Structure 1
Amino acid sequence: MMMTSFVRITLKSLAASVVLFAGSGAYAGPQADAVVRVVTQHAVPAVLNFSTHINALEDSAKSDCTAGALVPAYNAGFDAWMGLQHLNIGPVEADARGLTIAFWPDKKGMIPKTLSALIADQDAAVSNADEFAHVSIAARGLFALEYMLFDDSFNAYDQGSYSCELVQAITHDLAQTADHIAGEWTREDGFAATLTTAGAVDNQRYLSETEAAQALYTMLLTGLENSAEQRIGRPLGSFEKPRPKRAEAYRSGRSARNVMLSVQAAREFVVAMAPEVPTHTLEILDEVLAKLQDLDDPTFASVDDPMGRLKIEIIAQRIEAATESIANDIGAPLGISAGFNASDGD
């Protein structure tokens, strides 16, 4: 299906869903209003944006699969993922799609091992989308593609080579996953409708408005915590033993950018969910974004330097401060708190 047709269909489905839950009477309070705002102003646009850019990445790979040619489309696709990755719920969580899209951290170095094995064996799975969908997640998604495009052990391949076919298989697999997520979010009976009709008699997933609001609130806080504890915490390591090569997407120079985009997505989420203007939280998040902009350290390599390390630590601390402020600006007025999230402790 052409991407423009897909977006037209999904937007039409979303509009139908909005009409459905606007007239259902199932939601009638600040919690439900917050859920509707997050779904329509933040989540669904992020889902569709991701699908659009990942399909563009697949199209680029079909045209020219070589590493240098694919970098712009790759970065655009990764940017779009950072607008969605915190919503590890519903269609993103199903079938471990979030992990398939972004297998990180790769603590055991499975990605290069798995890619090397596929290339050495000239595995025929690259020629069959159904078969490729069942290969190890270490050979799928944005981080496998990062190795293929940015790592000198993998990126010196030509058009028509096996590695070229592998890159095309990865991008096609990503596009299929993105389209599944978008379709499941936006169809008339999809996840957007499930969230926004929480408490309705026929809604078996969310039995109350509070459950739906709490699920989204948990995603918001968890996304920020992951940026502080994982995206920044992993390369920080300890003062005695910093770990710059543990930074997310350092091969593609995206480590700090990923934190910035995740914070920008959280800011958008906060604006949509807060019942009143969340002035204090926005001040903190804007401070974080300004510090990241001024850092001039795209891969957090300066964790080795005491002054550079201090700047990065302060950013993590301010992100953590934002989560505390969110509890006051959103949690308390809506009467909700964070629940369990499957990605906790990763």
Structure 2
Amino acid sequence: MALLLSLLTSPALAANATVEKAIDGFVRPAYADFHTAAAKETGDVQALCADRSPEKLAAAQEDFIGLVSAWSTVEVIRFGPVTEENRLDRILFWPDRKGIGLKQVQAALAGKDATATDLAQLAGKSVAMQGLGALEFVLFGTGAEALGVPGDPYRCAYGLAVAGNIEGMAKAIVEGWQDPAGIAGTWANPGPDNPLYRTDDEALTELFDVFVHGLEMTRDVRLNGFLGANADDDKPKQAIYWRSGATVVSLGANLAGMKTLFEASKLANLLPSDADWIAGSISFEFNTSGRMIGHAITPITEVLAAPQRGGLPAFRLITSHLSELFGVNMAGALGLSAGFSSLDGD
């Protein structure tokens, strides 16, 4: 019995169990939700193209927000099938500091590029033309109101191809994580012959990095991209999803996803008893972040004009607190270090 207990509580088994909980409790269901939202949006746009009306346009716009929320929840997972076939950038090409994507989408709409309405051909085009940014412009950008009345079918046909492209990628990612011979099995079973994770610490560090780099993305790339040190420095039109009013929805979903992953993985159970305060502090900050900003679909200009700029500065401060808790306190307690960030070049 003593031997059995020692095996069940060994660091290796605990690390493997943590990874398995992360996969089954967050990664797989979150990607499944993304696929469901993508399929719903494709159906909405298809219905809109078949019978243009203000009501059907509103439905497609509303479910676009749901799609953004579903993607923003799981986009902190930046390894595995989402990195294959350049899917990460194809789903969301952002930041687009030079407006390259916008120009390409506008050019396709102006020139009625027939190849962009063909799903197979669209998938081989510029990443900026085939993801959420492109679909947002189709549904919310200049000229989008024309989708609510009968007329030229091109814009809707292009939007349908983009929506279908996103749905197809979501389906492929779901299938990739369900494959027992794929990333899920590789990540949860480190060993000397494993091509990606040779040790338990390497597998655990992959999970740990989701929080470290996810917080970095939310704060340094997303928030700091438009939120200035004071109101005079704010740049609302540089905010992600500003056209659809989904900026705050996306930011909130980023942290909500990390909160769910933290809870589902039971990562806190690996902490020594004298470091329990770290897990308590992390939970407190995650819970506070959800109250800091509203999740209404609101133009970012209105959010920034609200008292305390809609809670965004406080929300940013919380991400910094969480970064220290994960990157310094928890890392030290677990003997881990964060790996290279794919965001370093942004």
1:191 counterpart = 2:175: no
Aligned to 1:259: 251
Shift of 1:303: 4.3
Task: Give the alignment of 1:90-101 within 5 angstroms.
Answer: 90-101=80-91
1:33 counterpart = 2:17: yes
Q: Distance in 1 between matches of 2:39 and 2:295?
A: 33
1:61 alignment partner, one of 41, 45, 53: 45
Shift of 1:296: 9.7
Equivalent residue letter for 1:257? V
Q: Distance in 1 between matches of 2:106 and 2:280?
A: 50
Task: Give the alignment of 1:194-205 within 5 angstroms.
Answer: 194-199=186-191, 201=193, 203-205=194-196
Question: Does the 8 Å CA contact 1:44/1:192 hold for their aligned counterparts?
Answer: no
Equivalent residue letter for 1:111? G
2:70 alignment partner, one of 58, 69, 80: 80
Shift of 1:237: 3.2
Q: 1:242 to 1:308 in 2, by over 3 A?
A: same
Question: Does the 8 Å CA contact 1:256/1:300 hold for their aligned counterparts?
Answer: no
Shift of 1:35: 1.1
Task: Give the alignment of 1:272-311 within 5 angstroms.
Answer: 272-276=265-269, 278-293=279-294, 299=300, 301=302, 303=304, 308-309=308-309, 311=311
Q: Distance in 1 between matches of 2:235 and 2:198?
A: 44
Q: 1:106 to 1:295 in 2, by over 3 A?
A: same
3-state DSSP of counterpart to 1:248: coil
2:168 alignment partner, one of 168, 176, 191: 176
Aligned to 2:5: none
2:122 alignment partner, one of 112, 122, 132: 132
1:104 alignment partner, one of 88, 94, 106: 94
Shift of 1:335: 2.6
Q: Distance in 2 between matches of 1:80 and 1:344?
A: 25
3-state DSSP of counterpart to 1:94: helix
- What do residues 215-243 of structure 1 show as CA deviations (whole Å, max 9, x unaligned)? 12112211112111222211123545321
Aligned to 1:162: 154
Equivalent residue letter for 2:203? A
Q: Distance in 2 between matches of 1:296 and 1:328?
A: 35
Aligned-residue sequence identity (percent) comes to 24
Shift of 1:328: 6.1
Aligned to 1:322: 322
Aligned to 1:211: 202
Question: Does the 8 Å CA contact 1:102/1:141 hold for their aligned counterparts?
Answer: yes
Q: Distance in 2 between matches of 1:269 and 1:281?
A: 12
Q: Distance in 2 between matches of 1:159 and 1:334?
A: 61
Runs of 4+ aligned structure 1 residues displaced above 6 Å come to 294-297
Equivalent residue letter for 1:58? T
Q: Distance in 1 between matches of 2:282 and 2:328?
A: 9
Aligned to 1:3: none
Structure 2: 5+ residue stretches without partners = 1-9, 270-275
Aligned to 2:219: 228
RMSD of Structure 2 on Structure 1 (CA): 2.5
1:144 counterpart = 2:134: yes
Q: Distance in 1 between matches of 2:78 and 2:301?
A: 25
Aligned to 1:10: none
Q: 1:35 to 1:300 in 2, by over 3 A?
A: farther
Equivalent residue letter for 1:268? T
Q: Distance in 1 between matches of 2:210 and 2:136?
A: 26
Equivalent residue letter for 1:293? G
Q: Distance in 1 between matches of 2:178 and 2:295?
A: 38
Q: Distance in 2 between matches of 1:327 and 1:342?
A: 16
Aligned to 2:30: 46
Aligned to 1:9: none
Q: Distance in 2 between matches of 1:125 and 1:146?
A: 19
Q: 1:136 to 1:27 in 2, by over 3 A?
A: farther
Question: Does the 8 Å CA contact 2:285/2:322 hold for their aligned counterparts?
Answer: yes
Q: Distance in 1 between matches of 2:11 and 2:116?
A: 47
Between 1:323-332 and 1:86-95, the stretch displaced more is 323-332
Shift of 1:198: 1.7
Question: Does the 8 Å CA contact 2:28/2:178 hold for their aligned counterparts?
Answer: yes
Shift of 1:166: 0.1
Q: 1:107 to 1:114 in 2, by over 3 A?
A: same
Question: Does the 8 Å CA contact 1:275/1:334 hold for their aligned counterparts?
Answer: no
Question: Does the 8 Å CA contact 2:211/2:326 hold for their aligned counterparts?
Answer: no
1:249 counterpart = 2:250: no
Question: Does the 8 Å CA contact 2:176/2:182 hold for their aligned counterparts?
Answer: yes
Question: Does the 8 Å CA contact 2:293/2:310 hold for their aligned counterparts?
Answer: no
Aligned to 1:11: none
Question: Does the 8 Å CA contact 2:245/2:297 hold for their aligned counterparts?
Answer: no
Q: Distance in 1 between matches of 2:80 and 2:125?
A: 23
Between 1:130-139 and 1:158-167, the stretch displaced more is 158-167
